[in-house]
Amino acid sequence: MLNPIKSWFSKRDVQTWRTAVAAMRREYTGEPLTEEAAGANPLELFERWYAEAAEQSLFDANAFVLSTVSENRPHARVVLLKGFDERGLVFYTNYESDKARQIDANPEVALTFNWPESFRQLRIEGTASRISGAESDAYFNARPAESNLSAVISPQSRPVESRQWLEEKQEALKTELQVSGKPLERPANWGGYRIMPKYWEFWQGRTGRLHDRIAFIPDASRPNTWKTQRLAP
């Protein structure tokens, strides 16, 4: 994408990227998203889209923007999806972090996946709740050791005096474990949340900006079923 912009720079009197950003454009040539292709189950469509994104993505296909609301202010950050099934979508964090405190105060959240290689986006709205300690233990024990060291020593979202302070805390814990020979246990303030979707919106980029958008909303007349709506791009 950058080469056309650099060429655009050379042909015009442009001084900064602030001017050039409006010229950054590409055509979205995704496959059609029809109602037939979408099907009746949003989780099944999500699984198909995720499988394709995992094969095509240059980076983390499981990355999504998690949006929360606290005191009438929106907050957003990128986190990693670590599991999904009929019960919902799971991610992990420090339970004393900003995002966790915001979720505990208001469990209504929104998720946004962006898969640019396939010209796709996905929006989900739902309710978040903590998963069981046993589930969090199983995931924690499967993580790389360095990741768990960081999870234990980090006062996530809190100010710290320096990078060196964090590294020294991590090294001290590593040494302590080596001397004691004890395994590192999951701290009580770290674990997972499961988000139960109540709205799904699949977006497929198409040519000429005439995109496909199909939303799944609960069917009030039939429990545990969904109905679809096509939305204008």
Give this prediction's pTM.
0.89
Active-site residues: which are they? Answer: 209
Give whole-number Cα distances, 50 to 1, 70, 77, 122, 224, in Å: 24, 30, 20, 10, 22
Query: Across-strand partners of 228?
Result: 216
Residues 41-89: pLDDT tens digits? 999 999 999 999 999 998 999 999 999 999 999 999 999 999 999 999 9
d(CA 23, CA 1): 11
Model confidence pLDDT, tens digit, residues 194-229: 999 999 999 999 999 999 999 999 998 888 899 999
Q: Which two tokens stand for residue 100?
A: 């966790």
Kindly report, residue by residue over 12-38, the tens digit of the pLDDT: 555 677 777 777 788 899 999 999 999
pLDDT digits (tens, 9 = 90+) for 89-145: 999 999 999 999 999 999 999 999 999 999 999 999 999 999 999 999 999 999 999
Q: Distance (Å, rounded) from C-alpha 202 to C-alpha 111?
A: 12
Q: What is the 3-state secondary structure (H, E, C) of 8-64?
A: HHHHCCCCCHHHHHHHCCCCCCCCCCCHHHHCCCHHHHHHHHHHHHHHHCCCCCCEE
Residue 7 has pLDDT above 70, yes or no: no
Q: Are 81 and 60 in contact (CB under 8 A)?
A: no
Q: Give the tokens for residue 41.
A: 């189950």
